[in-house]
Amino acid sequence: MADATHSAHHGHHITPQRTLFATGFALLVLMVLTIGAANYMPEPLKHNSVFMNLLAIGIALLKAYLVVSIFMGVKYASKLTKLFAIGGFVWFLTMFATMIDYISRPYEPVPGWEKGNSTALPRNEKAPE
């Protein structure tokens, strides 16, 4: 940073008002889209939960991208800032690897809210009837 060749005079980026308003408008349009998709999707697709979930999450991700890149200014920020912003997202995705465990094994019973016999006994030990 000692020899700041280009940044010494031009300073921070100021996002123009037009860009900010356009982003706000785009976010509202995307919100209307996601509500419309959830309520008025035509029949064959409406009951395809995989498609509907992917669509809802896809729109949410697009909205998140607009907020992070324009409103939070990551698009115009330094590489280090970008690294932190992307790092948070990557960590979040990595954590979802936990789902592999849940999907690939049966649940073990734990004492909980369920009525009836439930137990936290170790694997292969039978719960008392």
Partner 1 sequence: MAHAPAHVDPNADPVYFQYEDIDQQQETYIVGMWAFLVTEVMFFGALFLTYALYRWKYQGDFYHFHEQLSWKLGGINTTILLLSSLTAALAVHFAQKKKTKWQVGMLVLTILCAFGFLGVKTVEYGAKFEHHLFPNKSFVYGEAAHEAFEKEFGSHKPGTFTQIVEKLDGPEKHQEGNPARARLFFSMYFAMTGLHGVHVVVGIILFTALIYLIVRKAPTITDYIPTEMVCLYWHFVDLVWIFLYPLYYLIPK
Q: Which residues bind partner 1 (CB under 8 A)?
A: 1-2, 4, 7-8, 11-12, 14-15, 17, 20-21, 23-24, 27-28, 31, 34-35, 38-39, 41, 46-47, 49, 52-53, 56-57, 59-60, 63-64, 67-68, 70-73, 77-78, 80-81, 84-85, 87-89, 91-92, 95-96, 98-99, 102-103, 113-115
Of 88 and 125, CB closest to partner 1: 88
Of 29 and 125, CB closest to partner 1: 29
Cα–Cα separations (whole angstroms), residue 71 to 33, 77, 78, 123: 21, 11, 15, 50
Structure letter (DSSP) for residue 66: H
Cα–Cα separations (whole angstroms), residue 42 to 54, 56, 58, 96, 109: 16, 15, 18, 31, 40
Smallest gap from residue 57 Cβ to partner 1 (A): 7
Smallest gap from residue 39 Cβ to partner 1 (A): 7
- Tokens at residue 96, please? 């979802």
Smallest gap from residue 109 Cβ to partner 1 (A): 13
Smallest gap from residue 29 Cβ to partner 1 (A): 10
**Cα torsion for 42, 49, 36, 70, to the nearest 10°?**
-140
The C-alpha angle 91, 92, 95, rounded to 5 degrees, equals 85
Of 12 and 124, CB closest to partner 1: 12
